[in-house]
Amino acid sequence: MTGRSGTRRSVRASSWSSRLKKASRAGAVNSSGTHRRWRLDPEALAHLEEMYGPARDAFFSLLDQDEALTERLVPDLPVIKGQIVHAVREEMAVQLADIVMRRTPLYMSEALDSSALNACAAAVARELRWGKRETAAQIDRVELLLQAFRGPFHRQPALPAVTEWEPQRVSLS
């Protein structure tokens, strides 16, 4: 692909900052030209632009229905609650593990804890009308998969602090 100056440009040459600017414009105004009533940070907008591309307007219409879906699930990744609902409604996801491990990058988050996992499960349970037993089983399965993925040394509890150390005397008799 050649630019105006005749030099060869890569199709993937768009920088991160240009994607942020493009996503900010895309999130601020919908296709009909009206401003949206919800706000997303530029990182989340760029993430949504990358995930949904030309279909982002259909995704943003989901956010127009419920502003609570714009909340981030974990602080270290730009994944929002609307992506969980979208995965169930539009992508036919029926397992929490499928959503956490495949359809979103949540499994890579260091901040994915039980409260974030419960928030995901609650959103899926509302959509699929799960009971408490099914919801708990889905959460347990994801926790097992995350434990296997992260390995045995992930987030080991800290050892108790030693205030003073005294050598032990051992008798050899």
Question: Is the distance from CB of 43 to CB of 70 less than 8 angstroms?
Answer: no
**How many Cα neighbours within 13 Å face the side chain of 164?**
1
Please state which CATH number belongs to domain 71-152. Answer: 1.10.8.870
- How far is residue 11's CA from residue 33's CA, in Å, rounded to a whole number? 28
pLDDT digit string (tens) for 17-58? 454 455 444 444 555 544 465 788 899 999 999 999 998 888
pLDDT digits (tens, 9 = 90+) for 93-118: 999 999 999 999 999 999 999 999 99
Cβ atoms of residues 120 and 106 within 8 Å: yes
pLDDT at 58: 87
pLDDT in tens, 8-18: 444 443 444 45
Q: What pLDDT score was predicted for residue 100?
A: 97
Q: Is 30 left (phi over 0), alpha (psi -120 to 50) or beta?
A: beta
Please tell me the predicted confidence (pLDDT) of residue 20: 45
Task: State both tokens at 18.
Answer: 């240009």
Burial class (CB in 10 A: 0-12, 13-18, 19+), 112: buried
Q: Which of 57-61, 82-86, 96-100 has the lowest mean pLDDT?
A: 57-61
Which pLDDT does position 167 carry in this prediction? 62
Nearest partner of 44 among 27, 57, 30, judged by Cα: 27
What pLDDT score does 160 carry?
A: 54
pTM beyond 0.75: the answer is no
Q: Is the pLDDT of residue 170 over 70?
A: no
Which of residues 36 and 70 earns the better pLDDT score?
70
Q: Which amino acid is at 149?
A: F
CA nearest neighbour of 94 among 58, 133, 51, 134? 134
DSSP-derived 3-state class of residue 35: strand
Please state the rounded mean pLDDT for residues 130-149.
96
pLDDT value of position 162: 54
What is the Cα–Cα distance from 51 to 46, expressed in whole angstroms? 9
Rg of the chain on CA atoms, in Å:
23
Domain boundaries, the chain: 16-70, 71-152
Is residue 90 pLDDT above 80, yes or no?
A: yes
- The Cα–Cα gap between 118 and 135 comes to 9
Say what the pLDDT of residue 151 is.
85
Dist CA 47 CA 112 (whole Å): 18
